[in-house]
Structure 1
Amino acid sequence: MSNTIAPLNQSMRHGNKFHIFAAIFFYISFFLLSVPANSAEAAPLVKIIEIKGNRKISSSTISSKMKSRAGLPFSKKSVQDDIKSLYSIGYFDDIRVEIEPFEGGVKLIYVFTEKPTIVSLDFQGNKEFETKDLKEKITITSGAIANLSLITDNVQRIISFYQSEGYWLVRVVPIIREISEDAAALTFQVEEGPKVTIKRITIEGNKALSVKEIKKVMKTKERWLFSFLTGSGIYKKEQIRQDVARIKELYQSKGYIYVAVSEPKIRLSPDKKKIFLTISISEGDQYKIGEVRIKGNKVFSDSELYDQIEIASGRIFNRSTLRKDIDKIIDMYMDRGYARADVNPLIDVNTKAKIANITLSITEGGIYKIGRIDITGNIKTRDKVI
């Protein structure tokens, strides 16, 4: 007779992943109590491990995820870890482990119930977009395992696509229907909802820059008369995130090093067809450049490098200008063959004086020379001409 470790059910059908650890302890402890007394000094050896029920995933792949090994002492913790690890693959609906006495030790039998294969994939409720277009937006296909995390990820992909097209209230529910023990049909049930447009964008907390200046750098626009031509006025979550970064960059180009821009607050109209966005800004103080130093340079003199950069003492701190200056210096080194040259800007901010001292720390690296250039494919023109 065998002792059975109750299954950890991690599936769309069962759902209670870890509720039977107590049962694991009970069954294993019960088995160990039945072992002769002289074995109490050490756990019995695992003599053999059998793997059953797997068809889609190989036994060698399963074994590679397990801690339990033939020849090692039996360990309750190893079996528990095996079950956790094997569930994490996403291929199994059910795993149970049976323990039997075997040749003075124990035999471990891992019995698997695999998740079904998705044999059909469809959409329902989609009116604005054709099914073939939606299938291009997802990564799951017919023939895939009905893995809950994979399905959830693709639900989010569908939602993200709809939201990028202005359907902010879209809902997507995956419906899995068992066709047989080994096959399932997956349907994404879509509730598109109304297309949501942006009625108003409100900017709060801005003093140094006007609303007009801020909105100018934003890709997100309010709905207006000719939006049907430009495609503007649609709420797009990713575009909003990028706009927050653009506003921050705008302020930092004006010397506001510590500006903070909030994620937009969203309010829906009563009919849920219009959005009101509010973006809050905490500008902080404006900083000027204090000292500008260069260190680590041997190939070029300080004056040669200073001639190429725009940042200078007394000017408004501008992060985008600083980036451009760094690129110029790297290009100078690249032209001399220093392909691995790098410039690290060290910024020392004096909050009382409202100045930022900048040190451009240069790592020149070694010089690289071109050894040989091979030209291929030239049939009519000689190499020396090229």
Structure 2
Amino acid sequence: MKKQFQRFRVRSLSAVVALAFVANAAWAVDPFTVKDIRVEGLQRVEPGTVFASLPFRVGEQYNDEKGLAAIRALFALGLFKDVRLETVGDVLVVIVEERPTVADVEFVGAREFDKDALKKALREIGLTEGRPYDQSLADRAEQELKRQYINKSLYGAEVVTTVTPIERNRVNLTFTVTEGEPAKIKEIHIVGNKAFSESTLKGLFDLDTGGMLSFYTKSDRYSRTKLNADLETLRSYYLSRGFLEFRIDSTQVAISPDKQTISITVNVSEGERFAVSGVRLEGNYLGKQDEFKTLVTIRPGEPYNADQVAQTTKAFTDYFGRFGYAFAQVEARPEVDRVNNRVAFVIVADPSRRAYVRRINIGGNNRTRDEVIRREFRQFESSWYDGDRIKLSRDRIDRLGYFKEVNVETSDVPGAPDQVDLNVSVVEKPTGSLQVGAGFSSAEKLALSFSVKQENAFGTGNYLGVEVNTSKYNRTLSLSTVNPYFTPDGISRTLDAYYRSSKPYEDQGGNYELVTTGASVRFGVPFSEVDTVFFGAGLERTQIKPGTNIPAAYLAYAARVGFTSQALPLTVGWARDDRDSALAPTSGRFQRLGTEWGIAGDARYLRANYQVQQYVPLSKQFTLALNGEAGWGKGLSGLPYPVFKNFYSGGLGSVRGFEQGTLGPRDVTGSVIGGPKKFTLNAEVLTPFPGAGNDKSLRLFGFVDAGNVYGENEKVTLSTFRSSVGFGVSWISPIGPLRLAVAHPIRKFAGDRIQKLQFQIGTSF
């Protein structure tokens, strides 16, 4: 009877008991051969998932060690809240309790972060709809959410996780957030400075105690990342001014008991100021020591400058790269004379081994085709490594304007010490733009302009554009497309088709107009890495539609040529652009020269226009921008210069403070007719908006404009220039670039039309 009871008794091993007391003989199970395995408690999990995890099968022997392994394996699946093994005779029963699945995840009160972004982050760690609920993952998500709020300076943020069971063994997760107010930086102190004032050093920081634009810049919100960047700026400031042994001893960040204010204290030791006593070269310089000496920017007799040292070592490394030495090592070793506060530098170079590029790998271009990036490369696969060509390739890709970031990294090839791979990583940005412009004046009231452009259509690198202008006096519809690699050699092709209806400004109710329709093709030939020459031809038809108050100049031209003119203009141009940014440049120069020659048809003329822009960084905060433009035109073959090819000036892009296109010669009727000669000069000083720190996306600028348009027989004199001064705001806003200017004419003449306010805004998609 006792033996029969032992045979049919239920031998139970719970998970906890099995894990904690398997060694206890009281819970031991005598080994036996398994005749059958049953699984109980399954709802959604397939039985096969359980059977596949068991370390034994029917017909095999079962013992306590295998039972413990089975429990561990089933728990490791993450699908069960509880697992038990029971034996009924020679039958093993696996009893499981499934974890509930997540039905929905919701966030309440989370305004600082986008809810979809938060759900995506939870999905990446396995906490999402349809997955088993795991309390440890929920706790991890809650702590991570709190950490993210701390990074946003919201130290008082509280997160409460609510788990609500619903039918069919499911749960709803709700993260309820009480964000509170962000902790603001109350004070920043720098202790130990002697050579520079505290205000000067604090001015280097992006973090500050706030201003009237802190709601936008958030510069008064503490961030450890931003503070580290500011400390590096501080260190660089001292090291570039002779303080060789400058160090930051400590940084204290104290938060108030109510978690609303933060105090930052930076303790520094300046050390003595050192001057450079000399520079000498040691090591292997490939027999080109004299050439390397020309690259040295460290100047003996001047204060020590860490930037000059870094520039010199980088220049050496880059120069080695020109000859294929991708692994060159250059070290500037200081020899310090603390008695006289002088330092000498020994630049030691080891070119190491020469290498060639095995493969160029491109990543991050989800939309842009590989060939669009590869065709900009001047470093080729299976050729010697050339640092200059790699840098040029990187810059050419960046200048495409399709990417936020472009990085080129060199990696070794395992087993091939003389080979490297180039890994190009890009971060794409929106290349389509929708731009709207508006202007107010007493003549037009409100004029709107509209354009849609796609710089990288379908990822091909081609440009497509449509422009519409609804101005009362100037209406435009134009279509344009550019293929930058019409030929494999990099010759570009531009196709344009346009319709323009132009009616010069006047207030007397005239209804005459100029209507121009045409099409053109233009090719751009790269003559160097920075210079492009353009050649093109077009067909153009211009009609002068008579009406009341038509200027006498138009009637005189029509009397010679007719009210309708056909022309075959040839165009030749040149452009060079080495600005550091097309959107918010701070250095570099842009030049453009365009000529147009009407060689056939009713209109015979020569027209030229030259523009140059120069950007000069005055300091970290201030940039000087200069612009000059000159235009000239003349009739050929005894025919008058076409009045519809006249230059106009005034308003946006020329002399602000005057209505668009109203400067220059006037007809006897008082209408502005433009002229064949134009001169414009502009100067701007740009600086981050007060309270915006060093943020260049929001800038304040002051400007001085001068210029005018002249008739064919008029003499160009500075005394007839119109000029204005003013200020404005440039903002790279979330919906696109915005530029607003208020101008005041300081030199004007009787009859000039004034326009003091102008703005332009765009958006991206």
Instruction: Specify if TM > 0.5.
Output: yes
Among the aligned pairs, what percent are the same residue?
22
Count of residue pairs brought into register by the alignment: 353
Which residue does 2:206 correspond to in 1?
A: 219
Q: Counterparts in 2 of 1:74-153, with a 5 A limit?
A: 76=65, 79=68, 83=72, 91-96=79-84, 113-126=97-110, 128-129=111-112, 132=115, 135=118, 138-140=121-123, 141-153=128-140
2:255 pairs, out of 255, 267, 288, with: 267
Contact 2:321 2:328 in 1 (8 A): no
Distance 2:307 2:33 in 1: 66
Distance change (3 Å), C-alpha of 1:292 and 1:212:
farther
Asked if residue 23 in structure 1 is aligned to residue 15 in structure 2, the reply is: no
1:7 pairs, out of 11, 15, 27, with: 15
Normalising to structure 2: TM-score of the pair? 0.37
Which residue does 1:171 correspond to in 2?
A: 158
Contact 1:5 1:23 in 2 (8 A): no
Report the 3-state secondary structure (helix = DSSP H, G, I; strand = E; otherwise coil) of the residue aligned with 1:234: coil
1:329 pairs, out of 290, 304, 316, with: 316
Report the 3-state secondary structure (helix = DSSP H, G, I; strand = E; otherwise coil) of the residue aligned with 2:23: helix
Residues 121-173 of structure 1, C-alpha deviations (whole Å, 9 max, x = no match): 112244x4587466467433433443345434433453355445543311112
Which residue does 1:363 correspond to in 2?
A: 352
Asked if residue 187 in structure 1 is aligned to residue 174 in structure 2, the reply is: yes
Higher relative contact order structure (alpha carbons within 8 Å, sequence separation ≥ 6): 1
Distance change (3 Å), C-alpha of 1:381 and 1:265:
closer
Asked if residue 306 in structure 1 is aligned to residue 293 in structure 2, the reply is: yes
Contact 1:220 1:235 in 2 (8 A): yes
Amino acid at match of 2:263: F
Shift of 1:357: 5.8
Shift of 1:55: 5.0
Contact 2:279 2:346 in 1 (8 A): yes
Contact 2:251 2:264 in 1 (8 A): no
Report the 3-state secondary structure (helix = DSSP H, G, I; strand = E; otherwise coil) of the residue aligned with 2:24: helix
Residues 72-112 of structure 1, C-alpha deviations (whole Å, 9 max, x = no match): 997859947983x875675543345668997xxxx998765
1:383 pairs, out of 488, 502, 507, with: 488
Distance 1:170 1:88 in 2: 34
CA RMSD across the alignment: 5.1
Distance 1:359 1:62 in 2: 67
Shift of 1:25: 2.7
Amino acid at match of 2:122: T
Distance 2:236 2:43 in 1: 54
Which residue does 2:468 correspond to in 1?
A: none
Report the 3-state secondary structure (helix = DSSP H, G, I; strand = E; otherwise coil) of the residue aligned with 1:262: strand
Shift of 1:365: 2.9
Report the 3-state secondary structure (helix = DSSP H, G, I; strand = E; otherwise coil) of the residue aligned with 1:239: helix
Distance change (3 Å), C-alpha of 1:4 and 1:216:
farther
Contact 2:248 2:269 in 1 (8 A): yes
Structure 1 segments unaligned to the other structure (5+ residues): 9-18, 36-43
Distance 1:58 1:119 in 2: 23
Report the 3-state secondary structure (helix = DSSP H, G, I; strand = E; otherwise coil) of the residue aligned with 2:182: coil
**Which structure has more strand as a fraction of its residues?**
2
**Which structure has more helix as a fraction of its residues?**
1
Shift of 1:192: 1.4
Distance change (3 Å), C-alpha of 1:29 and 1:166:
closer
Normalising to structure 1: TM-score of the pair? 0.66
Amino acid at match of 1:359: V
Shift of 1:220: 0.9
Which protein shows a greater Rg?
2
Q: Counterparts in 2 of 1:66-77, with a 5 A limit?
A: 76=65
2:331 pairs, out of 345, 349, 369, with: 345
Shift of 1:221: 0.9
Distance 2:185 2:301 in 1: 42
Report the 3-state secondary structure (helix = DSSP H, G, I; strand = E; otherwise coil) of the residue aligned with 2:329: strand
